[in-house]
Structure 1
Amino acid sequence: MTEPVRLTLEQADALVRKVLVACDTSPDNAASVARALVAAEADGQGGHGLSRLPSYAAQSRCGKVDGHARPVVTHPTPALLRVDAGFGFAFPAFDAAIDALPEMAANAGVAMAAIRRSHHFGQAGAHCERLAEKGLVAFVFGNTPKAIAPWGGTSPLYGTNPIAFAAPIAAGTPPLVIDLALSRSARGKIMAAQKAGTTIPEGWALDAQGQPTTDPTEALAGTMIPIGEAKGAALALMVEVMAAAVAGACLAFEATSLLNADGGPPDLGQTVIVIDPHLASGGVYGERIGALIAAIEVEEGARLPGSRRLESRAKAAREGVAIAAPLHREILALMEDAG
């Protein structure tokens, strides 16, 4: 088997930007997308990393995603932000929301951004983390194309619909970050396995006939198994309401695929809610979160959610990231095809 290709973080960032610009994405949008994809790769989240680049590039090249779109931001109320991503990449829209929300939350205590006409938004937790680094408690809800059936049904109607949460802990300490898809595994991990030519664990997905499968291609054509069975399906429905209905975007079963260049824009939605914890708690948030974290850390064998992400990030800073050789060849071919 061909060895993976190792790239420094800087090399990976430059590669993503070069491919996207060659495939009709503006340089500033390419830079925003590259930051997100490389950060996901560094965090050990390959399903949201460079494995996404071929589909992103193909969609930009054919116009399914507008690589030159600039998010349009409006303020219907002092605590509400509406962001029109313009059928472009989600990351510039999140950049705009994350820039505006801290001041809004400082004034109102709570603030919200509703993002529509959007696209795949990568690591949900990464957006929350950026807000927590600014002193805010943050939630992100985002819908994705259909992948999960309602509990008791057989046809996929909901997306894997990630939920993320982050909270500041203390100055100089990384925030607490919780990020989970509502399927037993993120769909991106299955796509990454497909790109790498590997199988997936049993219990992640069913094929198109409703049978268990370890073949990632069959899994992508079938349905994902929700976490917690009926409870996970109910949470996926909740996120569908929060991300699609509240933001005014396509429902999962109306959205086109994020994995190919077929059809029109996915038109997905994301909702971000932030809270100023110091205002909400009357100034005692720092002491209360500190006591909670301390109680967890003294528990033998316990670890905070997201700690592996920090370990992976530190390793990537030292050693770079390794991507599967077939994926690397596919990425290089994109630039050749773009001429």
Structure 2
Amino acid sequence: MTMLSLAAAKERVAAVFVAAGASDANAASVAAALVTAEADGLKGHGLSRVPTYLAMLKSGKIDGKAAPVASRPRPGVLAVDAANGFAYPAIDLAIAELPSLARAQGIVAAAIRRSNHCGSAGYHVERLARQGLVALLFANTPGAMAPWGGSKPVFGTNPIAFAAPLEGRDPLVIDMALSKVARGPIVAARQKGEPIPEGWALDAAGRPTTDPAAAIAGTMVPLGEAKGATLAMMVEILAAGLVGAHFAFEASSFLDGEGGPPETGQLILAIDPAAMGGAWFAARMHDLVGAIEGQEGTRLPGMRRYGLRAAAERDGIAVAL
């Protein structure tokens, strides 16, 4: 392990992907997302993803030189074709376009198809909130959860992320998978040879397991049981059905180089508060945050990642590449 500054870590990771056949721009986009996730303590979406991404590059499951393309089928819709490349450049393209569109129209949606693993969903909506927008992201992922009462995967872990600007401070960021835990920590546990807590996942026979390999081969336990499975279905419709992407049960794995491109999807909504809450939005958010932080033992969602990021910016992160 080598301790590197965040800038140096991004350069090191980008170089690995360029050497594996990715374009310079795509490698830089992937490196920025992975290093930020690692700095934020989200290791399941951080550098632990490098081996699986490289496997997908090597097999052609990800086109490392793909260039995403955007079109405007309707005034309020930005359609992005990720072209079976990494998700990050396609999302970067959307984030570059969404702010001006949202300010012109009040609300706009980016529909991203032929995509892949989008990492920490909060990373994307945070960037929109830093430009003064309220943002939502829905992403579907390969089959990992069964419908409630079933035993075969139909839904992915299907993250939902939300961010809102806060005056004079870091944005509020809410980021959660609809399984009891995201698959990333299970992948990281498998790489380390460590068990996972009971209650996270079931094996292929539907039995509780603490073996991460058996968990990956089986199904994830939904957050909130039947309610989580129902929410996962909603995300499938929003992030795949609406945008023309593969449903979870049609998508190949994000965890290996086997099969064709997963062709999953993301839907991003960006809202300009000035078009709705007007001048009082910032004051309303101040009051809501005060009601939460005024209670002992509470904190806003997403604040832990900012603290870890600040420490990583000061001390660097450990890189084994």
TM-score (norm 2): 0.98
SS of alignment partner, residue 34 of structure 2: helix
Q: Is the 1:23–1:58 Cα contact (8 Å) retained in structure 2?
A: no
**CA-to-aligned-CA distance 1:183-235 (integer Å, 9 cap, x gap):** 11100110011112211111100111111111111111110000100000000
Residue 15 of structure 1 deviates from its aligned partner by: 2.1
* Residue matched to 2:89: 92
SS of alignment partner, residue 182 of structure 1: coil
* Residue matched to 1:270: 266
* Larger deviation, residues 161-170 vs 192-201: 192-201
Say if 2:185 is the partner of 1:178: no
* Residue matched to 1:148: 145
Q: Is the 1:143–1:160 Cα contact (8 Å) retained in structure 2?
A: yes
* Residue matched to 1:83: 80
* Residue matched to 2:136: 139
Say if 2:209 is the partner of 1:224: no
* Residue matched to 1:309: 305
Residue 57 of structure 1 deviates from its aligned partner by: 1.2
Tell me, in whole angstroms, the C-alpha distance in 2 between the residues paired with 1:158 and 1:123: 19
**CA-to-aligned-CA distance 1:283-318 (integer Å, 9 cap, x gap):** 210111111111111111111011111111111112
Tell me, in whole angstroms, the C-alpha distance in 2 between the residues paired with 1:166 and 1:16: 27
In the TM superposition, 1:64-83 aligns within 5 A as: 64-83=61-80
Residue 319 of structure 1 deviates from its aligned partner by: 1.7
Say if 2:242 is the partner of 1:256: no
Tell me, in whole angstroms, the C-alpha distance in 2 between the residues paired with 1:7 and 1:199: 29
Q: Is the 1:81–1:114 Cα contact (8 Å) retained in structure 2?
A: yes
Aligned structure 1 segments of 4 or more residues deviating by more than 4 angstroms: none
Amino acid paired to 2:225: E
**CA-to-aligned-CA distance 1:62-94 (integer Å, 9 cap, x gap):** 211000001100011221100000000000001
Q: Supply the RMSD in Å over aligned alpha carbons.
A: 1.1
Say if 2:197 is the partner of 1:201: yes
Amino acid paired to 1:322: A
1:208 to 1:6, Cα distance in 2 relative to 1, 3 A? farther
Tell me, in whole angstroms, the C-alpha distance in 2 between the residues paired with 1:224 and 1:68: 33
Amino acid paired to 1:134: Q
SS of alignment partner, residue 208 of structure 1: coil
TM-score (norm 1): 0.93
Tell me, in whole angstroms, the C-alpha distance in 1 between the residues paired with 2:271 and 2:14: 34
SS of alignment partner, residue 179 of structure 1: strand
* Residue matched to 2:107: 110
Amino acid paired to 2:25: D
Say if 2:321 is the partner of 1:294: no
SS of alignment partner, residue 166 of structure 2: coil
Residue 10 of structure 1 deviates from its aligned partner by: 2.8
Number of aligned residue pairs:
321
**CA-to-aligned-CA distance 1:151-185 (integer Å, 9 cap, x gap):** 01111100000000000010x31000000000111
Say if 2:60 is the partner of 1:63: yes
Tell me, in whole angstroms, the C-alpha distance in 1 between the residues paired with 2:316 and 2:220: 31
Q: Is the 1:147–1:160 Cα contact (8 Å) retained in structure 2?
A: yes
Amino acid paired to 1:182: L
Q: Is the 2:59–2:258 Cα contact (8 Å) retained in structure 1?
A: no
Residue 5 of structure 1 deviates from its aligned partner by: 4.9
Tell me, in whole angstroms, the C-alpha distance in 2 between the residues paired with 1:316 and 1:245: 39
Amino acid paired to 1:195: Q
Amino acid paired to 1:187: R
* Residue matched to 1:334: none
Q: Is the 1:205–1:225 Cα contact (8 Å) retained in structure 2?
A: yes
* Larger deviation, residues 128-137 vs 201-210: 201-210
Tell me, in whole angstroms, the C-alpha distance in 2 between the residues paired with 1:263 and 1:70: 21
Amino acid paired to 2:291: A
Amino acid paired to 1:258: F
Q: Is the 1:208–1:218 Cα contact (8 Å) retained in structure 2?
A: yes
Q: Is the 1:143–1:161 Cα contact (8 Å) retained in structure 2?
A: yes
Tell me, in whole angstroms, the C-alpha distance in 1 between the residues paired with 2:210 and 2:5: 32
* Larger deviation, residues 25-34 vs 7-16: 7-16
* Larger deviation, residues 75-84 vs 53-62: 53-62
Q: Is the 2:4–2:317 Cα contact (8 Å) retained in structure 1?
A: yes
* Residue matched to 1:210: 206
In the TM superposition, 1:162-177 aligns within 5 A as: 162-170=159-167, 172-177=168-173
Tell me, in whole angstroms, the C-alpha distance in 2 between the residues paired with 1:243 and 1:158: 12
**CA-to-aligned-CA distance 1:85-121 (integer Å, 9 cap, x gap):** 0000000001110011111111111000000000100
SS of alignment partner, residue 175 of structure 1: strand
Tell me, in whole angstroms, the C-alpha distance in 2 between the residues paired with 1:195 and 1:41: 15
